[in-house]
Amino acid sequence: MLDVVPVRYRPPDDAYRLDIELVPAAELRARVAADRQRGFERIDFQCFVYVRSGSYTHVVDFETHELTEHSCLVISPGQVHRFGPPSDWTGWMLIVSGHLVSDDTRELPAHVRLDRELGGAVAELFDRMDSDAKLLADRQRLVQLLALQTAVLVGRLALGASGTTTSRLVDPTLLSRYRDYRAAVDDGCRRWHLVAPYARSLGCSAKSLNRACRAIADVSAKDVIVARIVLEAQRRLALSDDTVAAISRQLGFDEATNFVKYFRRETGMTPTAFRASVRQPDS
């Protein structure tokens, strides 16, 4: 079994009193270097890794991301991640308690590449947040300020993800339906592999779910299910010693052969090959 450490947010010291923390790249390197056995971790908080200059590699849910200047990595509660090898980069890691993060964060891609203008604005925002976090002010007001600044960060990342040259208004009804559908898939992906059961449970049509997914994430409703099943399979293959047959049953497949075909079609490798790849030393 791959050793994965559950990590809850802990303030850096007894004097720190906020639910939001900014860690500069140099300090982050020192923290990681201090624990040479540090491997995969499952976090219970929201995390943003922003590279101001240089380059850095980080793994999230078994996908390797190569961050370069003005890149930002978005790591959400429940995800499995691993710090990359030391490299000469500047930037920040922003740690935010989950209850302070807006639902809009879930619509962000894992890796956002910003242009120079947006990247500069985000760098200035991190500098401002770092200064504000050190203010000797009322704790509640300071947390509120930092939470608002985090919402601004999410907004700028959303602009970077969609492209600043194309502006569109999102129908609140479609956004709400998409979020409800995503939550339903998170809960039901081990039972339901088709769109129709979700549509019935949400009191709408499969067509309306497709329209919401296309409008918000530019994917089909079926794509949302497939991505979630594959991710759940990857986590179980990597984090448990259950057999492929057992995992196929856990994920609602009638036959292990059907699961193997499904996984191979979506990932390009068999479940056994994937498990071996993530358990290789230094992988």
- For residue 283, tell me if it sits in a domain: no
Give me the CATH number covering residue 79.
Answer: 2.60.120.280
Domain that holds residue 78: 4-162
Same domain, residue pair 117 and 182: no
Q: What is the pLDDT of residues 42-90, one digit of tens each?
A: 888 999 999 999 999 999 998 999 999 999 999 998 888 989 888 999 9
Same domain, residue pair 180 and 154: no
Same domain, residue pair 204 and 85: no
Same domain, residue pair 29 and 144: yes
**pLDDT the model gives residue 7:** 75
Under 8 Å between Cβ of 271 and 263: yes
Same domain, residue pair 17 and 151: yes
**pLDDT the model gives residue 14:** 63
List of the chain residues with pLDDT < 50: 164-167, 283
Same domain, residue pair 49 and 124: yes
Please identify, among 140, 162, 184, the residue that sits at the C-terminal boundary of a domain.
162
Same domain, residue pair 11 and 115: yes
Q: What is the pLDDT of residues 134-144, one digit of tens each?
A: 888 888 899 99
Same domain, residue pair 96 and 203: no
Which residues neighbour 202 within 8 Å (Cβ) at sequence distance 6 or greater?
177, 180, 181, 184, 209
Instruction: Find, among 231, 233, 228, the residue nearest to 243 by Cα.
Output: 233
Q: How many domains does the chain have?
A: 2
In degrees and rounded to multiples of 5, residue 9 shows phi and psi of -70, 130
Give me the CATH number covering residue 201.
Answer: 1.10.10.60
Please identify, among 138, 162, 186, the residue that sits at the C-terminal boundary of a domain.
162
Q: DSSP code of 258?
A: H
